[in-house]
Structure 1
């Protein structure tokens, strides 16, 4: 508890002050997590010390969070009388009037002289309540105009920014301006670092999006069971050919058909690389001479090693030498 609260509780006996203090601390701790339990602790503190303004204020705020509008309004009125007219919770009182279905009384509190004494945060909260009261009265456009304050364009995030942006987006949606509402819900979601509003859900609803909670997804994936074996298709690995050397090499084109396989009639055999087409039959041995000389003709190099000056027979084909008989003409190459 803060120093001001301890000072106010000193008016009680020491043991009683300690009991009241413990109930107030528990009411504060449970305010967000369990409003009903917080309300019970606040009511017990009120029962023990109903003449302390701090206790009545705490009871009124706890009743407000629990939705007990009438009791909250009564407690806060009593707190104002006991605390010498403190107006800090005037916006809460106006909102309780709304909760009781009395928006006109809420507007009366908003226009009261006490409302002008509020600080900036209190004035913003009062504007938000006023916008809601205008909507309760069916004044949708007036509700939008009520929140068009300079703080709406503030580029720095303030403690009230998320609530102000959200209220403005809500008013725009109620006025039928859904495109503008979507934009302001997105801004409210970005400013709402403490998750005070459901701005992200409202934005997703307008845009037709689904919100995916990564933490819940991880838990679901962690608890998920793997599929049965019969639902899984396992593809066989490709067989590797049992061949020495690299399996990626393609077979040579010069290789003939495999044993027992006849060559295709449609695909002619490739000619021998060293054969040259000069109108003579192709020769398997590239070192052979490409003509048939006469029986009595002398072949260069026959019966002995080839002369160093003799040309390569695979490139140049020599004409037959003349015979010893000068009168005999040389025989042409056999066709």
Structure 2
């Protein structure tokens, strides 16, 4: 019997996806480190780069040992460190923080689809690294005044139970009824969604003004408008309950129109953010008890899905979408 069983299709798929994401992050870190004008931010990103690079090599070695081809992912051809700064005022750490949030979800999910001990350990260790750097980025942004905390609330002094179905009030029951004030669980998800979409809007604005292909530039412009509409809609929902909306004092795009990243990389990054946004909205919908909120989220998810699908078509058209490993085509094998 071999010391280790062969990796399963699930393990191959999750390792492949992780390789794609991590090589993208490495290329973006190379540029952000080069352009960093804050020493503390530079140290955070440099240390993160070193830790991620080790696991990219470990994944490549695991695949190679199994006789699997190593994916292309993203290489030095996808980044140009010599161009002017595309973002300013703390965007690098804001962006890395959001990437780490995405990574936390992916690694936790990947652990549940891994069975071989060494692959479980890869995702377990990546989860710990991701949590560490997410916290470092959060504390950095709070210290710099670039991250708005969620609103504070009076602490409850008694336990309450819902007394009637009016608690669910919203468009689904009576469009003319007065909606109750948001609860803290709903505020948490709304605040998080606004915060994430602000960073996404800043990112895609920079992509739009620096993309090389006209079709890609137009696609990014549409994405910026979509993110803006989501921020506006959810901010109004918070304001209707007299709740302050999150705002960012940093992370703006500069006037540069020279792309530091390939269109391929920027398209993949946008696709990753769309997937994260749909997942986040799904969770927000599941925990919202006021009927109008899931209705809003459902519309957002539809718009994001359609936008993401349009992006996939552009990537396929330009030969930028690397195909995941396929299962055997049994019918074709039988025919042969």
TM-score > 0.5, shorter chain as reference = no
**Greater gyration radius:** 1
Instruction: Point out which structure has higher relative CO (alpha carbons under 8 A, 6+ apart).
Output: 2
Normalising by the residue count of structure 2, what TM-score does the alignment of the two structures yield? 0.22
Normalising by the residue count of structure 1, what TM-score does the alignment of the two structures yield? 0.22
